[in-house]
Homo-oligomer: A and B are copies of this chain.
Amino acid sequence: MAGSRNQRSADNRSNVFRYRRRVQFAETDLAGIAHFACFFRYMEEAEHALWRAAGLTIARAGETTGWPRLAASFDFQAPLRFEDEFEVGVRIANVTRRSLRYEFTITKDGAPVGSGTITTALVNKTPGEPMKALDVPVDVIARLRAATGGSS
């Protein structure tokens, strides 16, 4: 039914946290476009902006836990160039006991630039010890979800 589709579409939109950014000179390469590895930094910056919007930080000085990445991917649709302003939309796509997956879409003036994912896990990273996976804290997820405007 059209009504419920619209409803879901509106929900999806409200589940997305938006981060704005401009392409810097040092991020371009000799082909005149933002280097493809920069898009992984753009996704991460949006993730961390979401954490801040949730009143959190993904890294505190002296902490012995961290959120290393399990996987990352990006599909490129259009290039970004020097001084282009773009928007990174991020939403929480999947949460398991031991992992958190974000989905990202990048747009410029509303036109698609590409989309990607980052899957991350919480670990104990005490120096001298191997990294050890910890359960994803439910309160962190709740706060991230609230910051994206989603209800669950």
Contact = CB atoms under 8 A, between A and B. Distances in A.
A29 B30 contact: yes
A70 interface: yes
B31 A29 contact: no
Interface residues of A, number: 42
A57 B83 CA distance: 8
Tallying the copies of this chain within the complex gives: 4
Contacts of A70: 75-76
Interface of A: 24-26, 28-33, 35-38, 40-41, 44-45, 48, 52, 57-59, 61-62, 66, 68-76, 79, 81-83, 125, 127-128, 131
Given A41-B37, A127-B61, A73 B76 contact: no
